[in-house]
Amino acid sequence: MMEGPDIARIAALIGDPARANMLAALMSGRALTASELAREAGVTAQTASSHLAKLHAGGLVGTRKQGRHKYFSLATDEVAHLLENLMGIAAGAGHLRTRTGPKDQALRKARVCYSHLAGDLGTQLYDGLMRQGALHLDGSGMGLSDAGETLMRRFGIDLDALKSRRAPLCRECLDWSERRSHLAGSLGRALLSRFEAVGWARRDAASRAVLFSAEGEARFRETFSLPAR
Amino acid sequence: MMEGPDIARIAALIGDPARANMLAALMSGRALTASELAREAGVTAQTASSHLAKLHAGGLVGTRKQGRHKYFSLATDEVAHLLENLMGIAAGAGHLRTRTGPKDQALRKARVCYSHLAGDLGTQLYDGLMRQGALHLDGSGMGLSDAGETLMRRFGIDLDALKSRRAPLCRECLDWSERRSHLAGSLGRALLSRFEAVGWARRDAASRAVLFSAEGEARFRETFSLPAR
DNA sequence: GCAATGCTTCGATTAGCATCGAAGCATGAT
DNA sequence: ATCATGCTTCGATGCTAATCGAAGCATTGC
């Protein structure tokens, strides 16, 4: 006993419903203010402040002060990965909370996972990149092949800027609805924001859903050689 | 708010120190009795019983009654994956920054993750299989190539028996000490038990460590074309 | 049969912590 | 300056849940 790191400490952090709701809200990838998170969790500002302080001390969220606002976001991709993982188990093992409403279906099709694309389209993208050899997974981790780099540059991704950062370019992230991997890392982030920039998709304001237009989805499938739906 | 599955519910389950210790103990892959888990967690039999009932109701552990003993084990590989994931974050963000005691080093080198090989040797095996093309990761998930099947059969793995089961043959699992993937799934399980069967390694009785003999490690590296240490 | 072992249920105690009201402290707007 | 907004600290309250002792069931062994 007592071997390995203190797992209970951070599990307990996530274990409070108010904090869990805050973290789930931060899975949108957007940085949110303390009051927004308070509203999201359904508690008053004071309790939210206390919760956020604990999340910060526990290393799960990062903060940024801007004027009289304080913005919170998930600390790392790994935290997002953990949360997604938790959702998978909660969806499978917990009672069937998955009442597949219409909004729920949109979430399953495409949603934001921290800051990259998840859901059916996210895993399809990942699979497609793997299939055509744009992505590879070898000893040193995951990376882009030459063909992949060309593809990304042609799509308008500034790879040089991404590479100059310390953050890993490619990571995989387990999808809770699909139970398969999708692409995370700074490239995953850049791709999602590019999808928005070129008008293929936009984020739902109220949820984590990513709404592709009909034409946007067609162009998306075409660009990454995915089967037409 | 309230979208997605109830993440707080199971995080809270793991968030209690006693339960977390029990789960960590079950990461050895062995099925343990209620009293063993009570001792492991440092609580009396009554409280342990209460905790285990909750873990069972929450779907995190499975039970098997045998005589007057009740054996507990982790419910699925996904649960093990989640715990390993949690350890990674706890090790990074929490205090207790890896005081590398002598036993700790053994754990880092090779240990049991649920029921397959983790640690340095586990990730090396995974990387080696990937490098030589025995394993591949494509659209439909992870699988063995023909060369990989030959390799496994030659090593004495009964692939047909594994394939006939419903459980996935190959899965990847994120390693908390190495922060990279190692091989899980029924093949991962079979490999570890084969390592023990042919006398290359044995499990430490008191911890999750897997102890390779000098010759065992050499044969291991030779068999899977890993660089000599 | 009786005793022993392993586990569970019951009841009571306790401690921790989530919660909120109110006040304090910044920063920004008028 | 003065007020408003956003966040934090303080103090008090109340609820949840972890804990254990003791008794209750089940199973095994003699």
Kindly tell me if the per-residue pLDDT of A99 is higher than 60.
Answer: no
Give yes or no: residues A147 and A61 share one domain: no
pLDDT bucket at B100, cuts 50 / 70 / 90: very low
- Give mean pLDDT, residues B147-175: 84
Among the listed residues B214, B46, B98, the one whose alpha carbon sits nearest the alpha carbon of residue A5: B98
Give yes or no: residues B187 and B134 share one domain: yes
pLDDT of residue B98: 46
Kindly tell me if the per-residue pLDDT of B140 is higher than 50.
Answer: yes
pLDDT of residue A100: 47
The DSSP line for A45-59 is HHHHHHHHHHHHHTT
The number of helix segments (H) and strand segments (E) in chain A equals 11, 11
In a domain, A189, yes or no: yes
In a domain, B93, yes or no: no
With a 7 Å cutoff on the CB, does B46 touch strand D? yes
Give yes or no: residues B107 and B55 share one domain: no
Q: How far is the CA of B159 from the C1' of C20 (A)?
A: 61
CA of B38: nearest nucleotide by C1' is C7
H/E segment holding residue A65:
strand A61-66
* Choice between B207 and A43, residue whose per-residue pLDDT is larger: A43
- Give mean pLDDT, residues B165-187: 73
Kindly tell me if the per-residue pLDDT of B4 is higher than 70.
Answer: no
In a domain, A88, yes or no: no
In a domain, A120, yes or no: yes
Kindly tell me if the per-residue pLDDT of B203 is higher than 70.
Answer: yes
In a domain, A169, yes or no: yes
Give yes or no: residues B65 and B107 share one domain: no
Give yes or no: residues A53 and A105 share one domain: no
In a domain, B90, yes or no: no
Structural domain of B183: 99-223
Give yes or no: residues B69 and B113 share one domain: no
Number of structural domains in chain A: 2
Kindly tell me if the per-residue pLDDT of B204 is higher than 60.
Answer: yes
In a domain, A90, yes or no: no
Q: How far is the CA of A57 from the C1' of C23 (A)?
A: 25
Q: Phi then psi for B55, rounded to 5 degrees?
A: -60, -35
Kindly tell me if the per-residue pLDDT of B92 is higher than 80.
Answer: no
With a 7 Å cutoff on the CB, does A46 touch strand C? yes
Kindly tell me if the per-residue pLDDT of B215 is higher than 70.
Answer: yes
Q: How close B137 comes to chain A (CA, Å)? A: 8
> Which two tokens mark B146?
């023909």
Structural contact between residues A79 and B3, judged by C-beta atoms closer than 8 angstroms: no
Give yes or no: residues B183 and B215 share one domain: yes
pLDDT bucket at B102, cuts 50 / 70 / 90: low
> Which two tokens mark B23?
């789960």
With a 7 Å cutoff on the CB, does B31 touch strand C? no
Instruction: Classify the C-alpha dihedral A149-A155-A160-A165 as positive or negative.
Output: negative
Give yes or no: residues A120 and A204 share one domain: yes
Q: Scanning every residue of chain B, which has its alpha carbon at the shortest distance from the alpha carbon of A26?
A: B1
pLDDT of residue A94: 47
Among the listed residues A178, A209, A210, A208, the one whose alpha carbon sits nearest the alpha carbon of residue A26: A208
Percentage of chain A lying above the pLDDT 70 cut: 87
CA of B36: nearest nucleotide by C1' is C6
Kindly tell me if the per-residue pLDDT of B179 is higher than 60.
Answer: no
Give yes or no: residues B108 and B175 share one domain: yes
Q: How close A16 comes to chain B (CA, Å)? A: 6
pLDDT bucket at B105, cuts 50 / 70 / 90: confident
- Give mean pLDDT, residues A50-71: 90
Q: For the packed helices B7-15 and B17-26, what is the interaxial angle rounded to 10 degrees?
A: 90
Give yes or no: residues A104 and A198 share one domain: yes
d(CA B134, CA A199): 41
Q: Is A40 on the interface with B (CB under 8 A)?
A: yes
pLDDT of residue A137: 72
d(CA A152, CA A118): 18
Please give the DSSP secondary-structure letter assigned to residue B98. Answer: -
With a 7 Å cutoff on the CB, does B34 touch strand C? yes
- Give mean pLDDT, residues B42-50: 94
Q: How close A213 comes to chain B (CA, Å)? A: 23
H/E segment holding residue B70:
strand B69-74
- Give mean pLDDT, residues B164-182: 70
Give yes or no: residues B48 and B16 share one domain: yes
Size of chain A, expressed as the number of residues it contains: 229
- Give mean pLDDT, residues A156-182: 76
Q: How far is the CA of A37 from the C1' of C27 (A)?
A: 20
pLDDT of residue A1: 44
Q: Which nucleotides of C are covered by protein (CB under 7 A)?
A: 5-10, 17-23, 26-28
Interfacial B residues in 186-215 facing A (CB < 8 Å): 207-208
pLDDT single digits (tens) A106-162: 888 888 877 788 888 998 898 889 888 898 876 556 788 899 999 999 999 998 888
Structural contact between residues B226 and B125, judged by C-beta atoms closer than 8 angstroms: yes
In a domain, A83, yes or no: no
